[in-house]
Amino acid sequence: MKILSCGAGMQSTALALMACENVKSPGKFPLVPIYDLICFCDLGKEPPWVMEQVRFIEKACLKAGIKFEVLRSPLYEDYLNNFGNKRVVSIPFWTVGEDGKKGRMLRNCTLEYKIGLIQKYVRWELLGYKKGQRTKPEDLKAHEMHIGFSFEEKHRCRENPHKMFFNVFPLVEMQLERKDNYAYIRDVWGLETKASACSFCPYHRNYFFQHLKQNAEDEYKDLVAFDEMLEREQPNTKITSKLYISRSRKRISDLLPEECNDAECFPYKEQLIWNGF
């Protein structure tokens, strides 16, 4: 099977829509298959534009006859319920140790709450495996997991540790960068896209937090509350370092306007487009 792990950002949206185009015009994008499944994991707290992009992909897939699935993945909910009380997956929060040393937590959230969930869905729901059943020889490294890393992210490409899947990176093979995917989606499909990541993802620039404050007040309030929870509950964990969502290692509500002029942009037809981070 050929599966697309779809975060509904620029890159995976481009792959999904290229697959839809291949239904109408076979072979237009030779390195992009007509997927057996395009799967989006709803982590519970994405920026407002992400679900708009999900609905756009879903509609295009429905028209093209490609299976599109939204899986509920409760990363946000699990943190609200368990942080400070039970084990939670490691998110790459920015840290400051008791000795003042700066660092960052490990990033395990994507593997556990996205890739792992899709792999389980394929194994149990599509391939029909039962609990405890051994993997059949014909399924060993037999299924493709397509991931939307763009060419400038090729350093992120890794082998899939799961016994049934191997990773494929079509955008890297096509040497398409983020800006190329944005242009394709906008020029061909008429959709303006931004990056997809949880609202509390530490890879956001401070500009993102300011953007939410000015344009999505409820989302911003939830984000500040989450950030304050990290401050309040961290002493109840085994983690000795203080945790921050902002790379400035400050509470989001304490960020100054001059600290939020760090938007990441790329060129498009003589314009500068904010990438969503």
For residue 155, what are its two tokens? 């350093």
What is the C-alpha R_g of the chain? 20
| Tens digit of each residue's pLDDT, the chain (277 residues) | 999 999 999 999 999 999 999 999 999 999 999 999 999 999 999 999 999 999 999 999 999 999 999 999 999 999 999 999 999 999 999 999 999 999 999 999 999 999 999 999 999 999 999 988 999 999 999 999 999 999 999 999 999 999 999 999 999 999 999 999 999 999 999 999 999 999 999 999 999 999 999 999 999 999 999 999 999 999 999 999 999 999 999 999 999 999 999 999 999 999 999 999 9
SS3 for 70? strand
Who's near 52: CB < 8 A, 6+ residues apart? Answer: none
What the chain holds in terms of domains, given with CATH numbers, is 2-274 (3.40.50)
Q: Are 178 and 69 in contact (CB under 8 A)?
A: no
Q: Are 212 and 50 in contact (CB under 8 A)?
A: no
CA end-to-end span of the chain: 32
Closest CA to 222 of 73, 52, 46, 40: 46
Q: Tokens 């306007």 map to which residue?
A: 257
